[in-house]
A = this chain, B = another copy of it.
Amino acid sequence: MADDCTKLREAGADIVFTPTEAVLFPVPQQVTVEPPPIAAELCGAFRPGHFRGVATIVLKLINIVQPKVAIFGKKDYQQLHVIRTMVSQLNVPVEIVGGETERALDGLALSSRNGYLQPDERVAAVRLVNNLQQIKRALQAGESWYDALEVRAKADLEANGWRVDYVAIRSQQTLAIPQQGDKALVVLAAAWLGQTRLIDNLEVSVST
């Protein structure tokens, strides 16, 4: 946390709010936010209850800080979607802004988790975004057999030692399986490289 605070100070932050668990949870949390059904898919299918916890703690933090704007990274695309849906459907008076994903020179999405990767794993890790890029190009070229694209990427990762939670082509707007004519898509993946779970995604605009 000291590291984070240093970076935040350098970035121009005046105030950092770092409540202890005792401040946030003076009594066991019995009131929770039930997220929308999409929270049970994608990452939610592998982490039951995860987005209920995320939605609840984010609502608490927003209610305490009462910010005009709150920024959440697009790298956790499903998290951003769940928070946007919660804010909209519970009429929370805050503007949610998605932050673009920062990437290393080879394309790997920056994440504190990357620090867990062994040196050889760090080199191999770029395969995740490379597969997403390949799907993006295929979609832009007019490919619409989503299942085949997903299966091929999954097979490529598994052939190279990854354990894949999912590779999925979804609608940006709903995170559901795209409908006919849906032009704003997102390709998402979550996969394990050794002991480290990596997630990434790419937004794709298709013309048809």
B36 touches A89 (CB 8 A): no
Within 8 Å of chain B (Cβ to Cβ): is A59?
yes
Per-position contact with B for A35-69: 1 when CB-CB < 8 Å, else 0?
A: 11100000000000000000110011001101000
Question: Are A31 and B90 closer than 8 Å at their CB atoms?
Answer: yes
Whether A89 pairs with B33 at a CB distance below 8 angstroms is no
Interface residues of A in 77-92 (CB under 8 A from B): 85-86, 89-92
Q: Report the separation of the CA atoms of residues A86 and B56 in the bound assembly, to the nearest whole angstrom.
A: 11
Q: Which one, B27, B33, B64, B91, contacts A33 given CB within 8 A?
A: B33
Is the C-beta of A29 less than 8 angstroms from some C-beta in chain B?
Answer: yes
Q: How far is A86 from B86 in the complex, measured between Cα atoms in Å?
A: 16
Q: Which residues of B contact A60 (CB under 8 A)?
A: 89-91
**Using an 8 Å CB-CB cutoff, how does the interface string of A85-129 with B read, 1 for contact, 0 for none?**
110011111000000000000000000000000000000000000
Interchain CB contact (< 8 A) of A34 among B32, B89, B90, B92: B32
Q: List 13 A-B contacts (CB under 8 A).
A: A27-B89, A30-B37, A30-B89, A31-B35, A31-B89, A31-B90, A32-B33, A33-B33, A33-B90, A59-B90, A60-B89, A60-B90, A63-B92
Shortest Cβ distance from residue A79 to the other chain B in the assembled complex, whole angstroms? 14
Nearest Cβ in chain B — how far from A144, in angstroms?
27
**B-chain residues with CB within 8 Å of residue A32 when the two chains form the complex:** 33-34
Q: Beyond the given A27-B89, A31-B89, A63-B93, please list 13 additional residue pairs across the A-B interface where CB-CB is below 8 A.
A: A29-B89, A30-B37, A31-B33, A31-B35, A31-B36, A31-B55, A31-B90, A32-B34, A33-B90, A56-B90, A63-B92, A64-B91, A66-B93
